[in-house]
Chain A
Amino acid sequence: MSVIPPGLSRQFSLDRSWPFILDLLVFATVLAAFYGVLTVAHYWLGQAVPATEISRSPRSLPRYAFYSLVRMAIAYLLSLVFAVTYGRIAAYNKTLQPFMVAILDILQSIPVLSFLPGVMLAMVSLFPSKQVGVELGSIILIFTGQVWNMAFSFYSSLKSMPRELSEASTIYRFGKWQRFFQLELPFGTIGLIWNSIVSVAGGWFFLMACEMFVLGKRDFRLPGLGSYLQTAAGNGDTYAMIWGLVAMIGVILLIDQLIWRPAIAWSGKFKFEQVESTQVPTSPLLHLLRNSRVLNAFREKTIEPLSERVNLYFASHKPEHPQSTTTPAWLKSLGALLAVVAIGGVGYEVFRAFGLLRGVTGGEFKGLMKGAGATFLRVNVSLLIASAWTIPAGVAIGFNPRLARIMQPVTQVAASVPATALFPVLLLAIVQLGGGLGVGSVALMLLGTQWYILFNVIAGASAIPSDMKEVANLFHFSRADRWRIVILPGIFPYLVTGLVTASGGAWNASIVAEYFHFKDSVMSTIGLGAQISAATDAGRFDTLLMATIIMATLVVCTNRLVWRPLYRLAETKYRLES
């Protein structure tokens, strides 16, 4: 850049000593990454060992943490690529759009474990003798837990793009490449980042389920933090469990500081706003990275010229007349043919699935329905309990700036520390107290879901304009009136958002909350989640399919019949317009 405002030069000289140290750090990171790739490659391409002996020694924790991280990272990258591709197709293809959105809706409601048998068996038979098969299976499982809301986020970003911005790209003849990197991706970035955070948190939640499971007669145990925690909890080894927890919380905090914080600060530039906001999130790490000489040189010497070349290539090879590019007839017929094949395939599979479902006896079906009722009850009880304490607490925090200042870091840590890490501890406590899982699982669900409500209520309460509160003071509203007229309507939209997320989370959590391997035996209670887990364990695919269908139907129906109308109400009647 030829022009540097004069005020900046002083700041540059102050930073000069930092980049040197940082450059060393960057080198070290690159070296470590290289070694890491070698290790993983060696392990993946080695003999298939589906059920590793999980060591409970804390000394193996760094290695386990590393393996889990690699799995999470790959699953996340896969999710990102898939989400962007899927969102883009769904947003632009008018024919496919309704189907693709409906598919997202349904897939989102299917619990991770229901994907397990299909994914695992496919992957293992794809790479029968190499570890990579089992690993890929686990990665895809994590992927299925993360990807849907990200895809939905990108889709809705594209749909909400301001018309003039998109027209500007057309009138200035942006090609697909440039349009994607200068318009679509930047516009979707903020939504993608926030959803990524939620998704990855969900990934940690189900890490235990994704790394260690029984599938019929086959026992799968992959070296990782999830397996470590599960083994420790299953053996009642408190010492190992504390070590595992410390490791997991440490890793999550590190990711929060090293990845999400800088990402949020960085994404500030993608905010679609006319004026600069006063409160800008900052990240010291991002500041350092931006000033690293090595990274900057790397970018200038490699990435920028490369993107320049790619861009030039696309710019000179795109069709000259953007409007006249109609799809050639052969492509259309190929598309139609593919559609027919796909519909036929789906029809056949549905037919087969129904065939499979015939294996479920009437008695079993009744059992499943009973389980569904029990889980339904549990989910709603957990939502009620969560609301009962989070609404007053959230409002208190949101209304009191001093309290908010104190609580903010605490709640942020609580948010990034997965409640799931505490899961095994709570489980042991429940076992020791002698309470069964029937009640205990509600507590377990609570652990995972109450935070969504709390954070949303805090956000809602602090968004209530102070003049509304002043009116309440002025007219001496009673406490009940204050809640009925000001607070509850004010937080309503946020509360609904929190409840929707929490409800989805609770359903999903039921599969780990209602069923647990403990000291060579199984603890479980009546519930759909337990039935899904048990069916996976036993390799009963028919029951698994039936239970999954029931759960997906229940979740989708609740969304359509309860949450969506409430959402609409929140958006129309209870919206606080500025």
Chain B
Amino acid sequence: MLETIIEARGLEKFYGEPGENVIQVIAPTDISVCAGEILAVLGPSGSGKSTLLRMLTGLSKPSAGEVLWHGKPVAVQAPNVSIVFQSFALFPWLTVLENVEAPLKARGVAEIPRRKRSLKILETVGLDGFEAAYPKELSGGMKQRVGFARALVVEPEVLFMDEPFSALDVLTAENLRTETLELWANKSIPTRAIYLVTHNIEEAVLLADRIIVLGKNPGRIRTDFQVGLPQPRDRKSAGFLQRVDYIYKVLTQPDAAPQLAPETEIAASAGAGPRGAPRVKYPMLPHARPGGISGMLEILTDRGGHDDIYHLADDLSFEIDDVLPIVEASAMLGLVRVSEGDVELTPAGHHYVDADIAERKELFGKAAMERVTLIRQIKRALESKSNHTLPDEFFHDTLDEHFSEEETIQQLETAINWGRYAGLFDYDSGSRKFYISDEEPETVTA
């Protein structure tokens, strides 16, 4: 193995004080970045991939564990890193040249060498002639080139990229990926390692020497493997497809689909949480809309009732962040079965597809009441109140113990969506109250 640049041991991130209700974002994780490799970190949303990146770069402090750069803690040195951001994070009020010069200015590089280095790097990324332009005059791809130039001008030892291509259109992204790879292969950039965060499986297999797949709730490493394919890679080759398929399998394997039997799952996973933070896992609602679920089930029916998730996503040109929640939600409701990266309609799923709109709502409601803890809790709580009305804070507080603030809000939003579709309960966003629909709350405006 080559020289290790970054070594993280027992890296953890959680909110809240230990001993109380700890919300674990990232379970204890060991991770290393070696010289000469492109490491892709892949994971669904909520797996903490951005948090991990921020801890490794020293932007954010880990709750436990340590990050070592060449054996020294990141906190006592300023490692030479750069980040290419998803949103580009360019300063709109500075010209392209000024944007690229800014990091050098921060390091006290005098005007003349600073300008020389910046112009050279702009030429390298293909931006010569754009020095005086402002970022808003550029297209998305050009903006990200500025982002690259700004990152590379300080000659970082490790170049971190946080979903650098996901804000770009398909063609531009592909073009930039190829060019990045070229710069790296030709050694036109002095960077010794690249750390790429992505949620695009093909992108990871296309670019990376090594891939880490993260799981969520809490974020942890599911698999860490060498890609072992020669560059340039062919998307249609058997080796490529085999690796893509493998990642899909990892992402959809049993522990990512505990929704099949929520009750037993709670019992099974109690106490089996990450070390140091024993807690009961609350089943998490995947953020899928009922319409999306119906749509996927219909497509599955058209394909004979089962398909490979990868094909499904590819044909819909969905990324895993889009398709996984739909698959998980369908599995949670017992409408599909997931195994080894394949989805298959269950009898209940067939029944659902054949039903008309009103029946579908009813089936959905029944399945949700039987299998989805949060939906059931909301419905029962509302039923037990004489006026069938409860403020959202009530549920907010329950969820708070299990999820981050942001996730809690999303959980409730999804629950509202499902509850409304199934006609189980409704929500008034003005008074922020849940209620059961046949009894309108007093404050209903036209």
Contacts and interface: CB of A to CB of B under 8 A. Distances in A.
B408 interface: no
B78 interface: yes
Given A167-B89, A172-B102, A485 B446 contact: yes
A272 B446 CA distance: 37
Interface string B165-203: 000000000000000000000000000000000000000
B267 interface: no
B136 A174 contact: no
Interface stretch (B127-135, B297-305, B352-360, B367-375): B127-135
B137 A173 contact: no
A3 interface: yes
A165 interface: yes
A3 B106 contact: no
A4 B57 CA distance: 38
Contacts of B110: 312
Interface in B362-404: none
Contacts of A162: 87, 89
A315 interface: yes
Contacts of B75: 321, 323-324
Contacts of B82: 171-172
Interface string B135-160: 01100100100000010001000000
Contacts of A1: 97, 131-132
A572 interface: yes
Interface string A477-497: 000000011000000000000
Contacts of A316: 108
A3 B132 contact: yes
Given A182-B94, A273-B92, A173 B103 contact: yes
B430 to A, nearest CB: 5
B106 A172 contact: yes
A276 interface: yes
B237 interface: no
Interface string A552-578: 000000000000000001001100000
Interface string B96-107: 010000110111
A324 B76 CA distance: 6
A170 B106 contact: no
B86 A276 contact: no
A438 B59 CA distance: 61
Given A172-B103, A174-B102, A178-B102, A315 B89 contact: no
Interface residues of B, number: 44
A567 B89 CA distance: 30
Interface string B31-61: 0000000000000000000000010011101
Interface string A181-223: 0110010000000000000000000000000000000000000
A270 interface: yes
Contacts of B57: 171
Contact of A182 (B74, B102, B119, B137): B102
A498 B213 CA distance: 52
Contact of A186 (B58, B89, B91, B103): B91
A273 B92 CA distance: 7
Contacts of A274: 136, 140, 143
A157 to B, nearest CB: 13
A520 interface: no
A472 to B, nearest CB: 14
Nearest to A168: B89
Given A164-B85, A168-B83, A322-B78, A569 B430 contact: yes
Interface in A307-363: 308, 311-312, 315-316, 320-324
B446 A175 contact: no
Contacts of A178: 102, 105-106
B102 A269 contact: no
Given A164-B87, A273-B92, A323-B58, A315 B106 contact: yes
Given A1-B131, A312-B110, A171 B91 contact: no
A2 interface: yes
Interface string A262-277: 0000000111111110
Contact of A315 (B76, B77, B105, B140): B105
Contacts of B131: 1-3
B439 interface: no
A73 to B, nearest CB: 25
User: Which of B75, B81, B93, B103 has most chain A Cβ within 10 Å?
Assistant: B93
Contacts of B107: 173, 315
Q: Closest 6 A-B residue pairs measured CB to CB?
A: A315-B108, A172-B103, A164-B89, A168-B89, A186-B93, A316-B108
21 contacts: A167-B54, A167-B83, A168-B83, A171-B57, A171-B82, A172-B82, A172-B103, A172-B154, A173-B103, A269-B92, A269-B134, A270-B93, A272-B92, A273-B136, A315-B108, A316-B108, A321-B76, A321-B78, A323-B58, A323-B74, A572-B430
